[in-house]
Amino acid sequence: MVKLGIDWIDSILPEGFPANTSTLVSGPGGSGKPLIGYMFASGWLENDGKVVFMLTSTTLEYMESTMKILGTNIDDYAGKIFFVELDPTIDGIKEEGAYHIRANFIKPEVWDEALSVANNYLDGTESKLGTMVSGAALNLLFFSKTYGKEIHAKIKEILKEDKERTYFFTVNSDAFREMVEELEKNVDNLMFSRMGEGMKLHLKVTRMREVPFIEKEVEVPLSKGVLESIKQEAEKGKKNLIPAIRKI
């Protein structure tokens, strides 16, 4: 377990967040879920962890600027961060830089290959906590006619079985509700988010694996401007991505 050093998170996980477990944040669209994932990932990095970011509906540039707003400059974590950016227009993987690839990880075999590339890069850096894989809006992958059910099964298996890494995923509960419920049932740690009046983001933990937690809804301390920004970015991303994913 690790205390992430973020006050609102430590208040609901008083003894810390468990490594080598899977976490799912589920909630309706526009409820700020990617930001919650970024904040947990920031705490992970601050405590000498490594992170693979699997970007779906946001770009690398947007993610970098958002992390800075949250107080994390990714330039300070050279060798400990790797980015896998979804690109449904390519067959497999395209290298963009030393720590950045594009990948069509709608395909289960490309998902595995992309994480293998990330691991090869990150293996050269020591870490107390190991690697967290952080992915947002992963239910967008389910729009694929050919691979939707396969990648859903892949993610469900990861959440249930893979304890070599720490996984922190977010999903939109408005789309593919039955498939999302299957993920909710198979994950170690389950949290729900919602957007309240005045554009205030709330999170509630309902299940944790072998660690105590406070089962009360808390407000995530993020400004309205930051929340509106992530909402706009996600909507823009979905507008471009969903038609392309449907064709695969």
Q: What's the CATH number where 201 sits? A: 3.40.50.300
Highest-confidence segment of 34-43, 117-126, 170-179, 180-189: 180-189
Tokens for 206, please give them. 């309902």
Q: Find the mean pLDDT for residues 16-43.
A: 92
In a domain, 173, yes or no: yes
| pTM of this prediction exceeds 0.85 | yes
Instruction: Assess if residue 2 is contained within a domain.
Output: no
In a domain, 72, yes or no: yes
Residue 83 reports pLDDT greater than 70: yes
Distance CA 170, CA 32 (A): 10
For residue 237, pLDDT beyond 70: no
Contact (Cβ atoms closer than 8 angstroms) between residue 155 and residue 128? no
**Tens of pLDDT, residues 99-115:** 999 999 999 999 999 99
Residue 18 lies in a domain: yes
SS3 call for 146: coil
Count how many domains the chain has.
1
pLDDT at 238 (0 to 100): 73
Residue 124 falls inside a structural domain: yes
Helix (H) or strand (E) holding 50: strand 50-55
pLDDT of residue 153: 98
pLDDT digits (tens, 9 = 90+) for 53-79: 999 988 888 888 888 888 889 899 999
C-alpha distance from residue 118 to each of 19, 40, 132, 145, 239 (Å): 19, 19, 11, 27, 28
Residue 1 is assigned to a structural domain of this protein: no
Asked if residues 19 and 130 have their Cβ atoms less than 8 Å apart, the reply is yes
Assess if residue 27 is contained within a domain. Answer: yes
Q: Which residues neighbour 109 within 8 Å (Cβ) at sequence distance 6 or greater?
A: none
pLDDT top residue among 116 and 125: 116
Domain that holds residue 52: 7-246
Residue type, 99: Y
Query: What is the per-residue burial (b if ≥16 Cβ within 10 Å, else e) of 39-60?
Result: bbbbbbbbbebbbbbbbbbbeb
Residue 143 located in a structural domain: yes
Parallel, antiparallel, or unpaired: how do β-strands 93-97 and 100-103 relate? antiparallel
In the block, which residue shows the tokens 């107080």? 71
